[in-house]
């Protein structure tokens, strides 16, 4: 199934796309291909690096979920990394999402997103300006970013390196007069260079969903379901409190924040051997208080 074609000026032509015509040149969109049903637009664009860190993926998922829960449509580029996390977060919270592809609708790209593709087409729409069998060419992607920006009232850059395509989306957004926000990130490493630079250049920082309140009033109040399910102190709700480990468990949870921590260091800090630490972590992981990441890291679970 390759969807149907929508021509400019049709009854359900997304309002934001018309703004692209004002930019002149080849910016205007004459028709788009559509699979699924367009949710209410404009929405909020969530974009970022394909090679995101775990923190970046986590942030994208959470913002996607916060928006989805409020009925704000999440627009993104269906790429690996942040894009996919944003779509997934939104869908998991029962929201609707639009994926703007850099290839034709009949092209299975990226291959690992087959499952996500079905979900998006059922609970939102896949959109492309390319004909069905057009492959994912390198130049398609920066070009389709203008559609992502046009379909949104605000663009949130989650995690972008210096050369990330997400920055081009931010530029399009600025040209179109859309709100540009960026999630502040660590200054160590390369992962957040681009998004942090956006902040320096005048983008607004995104700290929580209320930062979108002036463009989407429904984001003003934190919803009840929004409070992060903070893991309760061990021994509270758990059916199987980590008995002998009670004190250690509390200290471990205090050590592990959202930022992943190497288990080797946890063991040292608590004075636990490999076996003792494994039992403790196993218990906490079983209850959903922590999770193990590749590379011997331990982190708090996702939302």
Partner 1 sequence: MVATAISCAVQGLSGVPVTVEADVANGLPSFTIVGLTDRAIQEARERVRAAVRNAGFDFPARRVTVNLAPAEVPKEGTGFDLAIAVALLRTGRELPLDDVACIGELALDGGVRGVIGVLPMARRLAASGIRRLIVPAENAAEAALVEGTEVIGVESLAVAVAYLEGRLDLAPTAAPPMGELIAPGGVDLAAIRGQSLAKRALEIAAAGRHNLLMLGPPGAGKTMLARALAGLLPDLGADEALEVASLYSLRGRLSDRPATSLRPPFRAPHHSVSRAGLIGGGAGLAQPGEVSLAHGGVLFLDEVCEFPRAHLEALRQPLEERRVGVTRVRGTVTFPADFVLVAAANPCPCGRLGQREAPGCRCAEDAVLRYQARLSGPMRDRIDMVADVPRLGGEALFGSGAEEPTAAVRERVAGARARQAERAASTGVAANALLGAEQLVAVSRLDVRALDALTTAGERWRLSARAYHRVLRVSRTIADLAGEERVTRQALLEAFQLRGQSE
Q: How many separate helices (H) and strands (E) can be counted in the chain?
A: 9, 12
| Site stretch for partner 1 (CB under 8 A), options 14-22, 79-87, 120-128, 177-185 | 79-87
> Which residues ranging from 226 to 245 are in contact with partner 1 (CB under 8 A)?
239-240
Answer whether 183's CB lies under 8 Å from 157's CB.
yes
**Which one of residues 22, 118, 190, 225 is an interface residue with partner 1 (CB under 8 A)?**
190
Out of 13, 54, 119, 132, which residue is the one contacting partner 1 (CB under 8 A)? Answer: 54
Query: Which strand ranges, in their side-by-side order, compose the sheet holding 179-182?
Result: 4-7, 31-36, 124-128, 97-100, 74-76, 43-47, 152-157, 179-182, 204-205
User: Does residue 260 touch partner 1 according to CB under 8 A?
Assistant: yes
| Interaction pattern, residues 89-108, with partner 1; x per rule: CB under 8 A | --------------------
Q: Kindly state whether residue 279 participates in binding partner 1, applying the rule CB under 8 A.
A: yes
Query: Judged by CB under 8 A, which of 2, 285, 302, 303 binds partner 1?
Result: 285
CA distance 91 to 68: 7
Contacting partner 1 (CB under 8 A), which of 53, 73, 128, 168?
53
Peptide bond between residue 72 and the one before it cis (omega within 30 degrees of 0)? no
Q: Which two tokens stand for residue 8?
A: 């400019």
Residue 46 tokens, joined: 């969530």
Choice between 209 and 297, CB closer to partner 1: 297
Q: 69 is written with which tokens?
A: 């829960």
Question: Tokens at residue 143, please?
Answer: 């070009």
Residue that is written with structure tokens 């499952």 in the block = 115
Q: Does 283 bind partner 1 (CB under 8 A)?
A: yes
Judged by CB under 8 A, the chain residues 148 through 167 that form the site for partner 1 are none
CA-CA distance, 109 to 124, in Å (whole number)?
18
Pick the binder of partner 1 from 59, 151, 256, 277 (CB under 8 A). 277
Binding site for partner 1 (CB under 8 A): 50-54, 80-81, 84, 110-112, 188-191, 239-240, 260, 262-265, 267-268, 273-275, 277-279, 281-283, 285-286, 288, 292-297
């Amino acid at each position: 199934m390759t969807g149907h074609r929508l021509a400019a000026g049709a009854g359900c032509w997304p309002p934001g796309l018309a703004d692209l015509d004002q930019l002149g040149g080849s910016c205007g969109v004459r028709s788009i291909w559509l699979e699924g049903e367009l949710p209410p637009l404009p929405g909020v664009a969530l974009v970022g690096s394909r090679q995101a860190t775990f923190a970046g993926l986590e942030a994208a998922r959470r913002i996607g979920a916060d928006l989805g829960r409020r009925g704000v449509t999440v627009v993104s580029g269906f790429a690996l990394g942040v894009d996919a996390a944003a779509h997934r977060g939104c869908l998991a919270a029962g929201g609707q999402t639009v994926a703007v592809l850099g290839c034709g609708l009949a092209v299975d790209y990226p291959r690992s997103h087959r499952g996500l593709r079905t979900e998006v087409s059922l609970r939102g729409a896949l959109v492309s300006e390319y004909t069905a069998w057009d492959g994912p060419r390198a130049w398609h992607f920066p070009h389709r970013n203008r559609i992502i920006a046009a379909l949104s009232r605000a663009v949130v850059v989650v995690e972008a390196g210096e050369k990330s395509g997400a920055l081009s989306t931010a530029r399009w957004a600025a040209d179109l007069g859309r709100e540009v926000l960026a999630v502040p990130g660590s200054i160590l490493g390369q992962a957040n260079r681009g998004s942090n630079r956006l902040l320096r250049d005048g983008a607004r920082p995104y700290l929580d969903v209320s930062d979108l309140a002036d463009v989407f009033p429904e984001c003003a109040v934190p919803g009840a379901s929004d409070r992060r399910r903070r893991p309760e102190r061990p021994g509270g709700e758990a059916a199987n409190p980590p008995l002998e480990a009670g004190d250690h468990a509390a200290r471990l949870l205090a050590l592990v924040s959202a930022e992943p921590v190497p288990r080797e260091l946890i063991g040292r800090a608590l004075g636990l051997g490999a076996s003792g630490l494994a039992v403790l972590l196993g218990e906490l992981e079983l209850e959903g208080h922590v999770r193990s990441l590749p590379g011997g890291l331990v982190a708090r679970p996702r939302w």
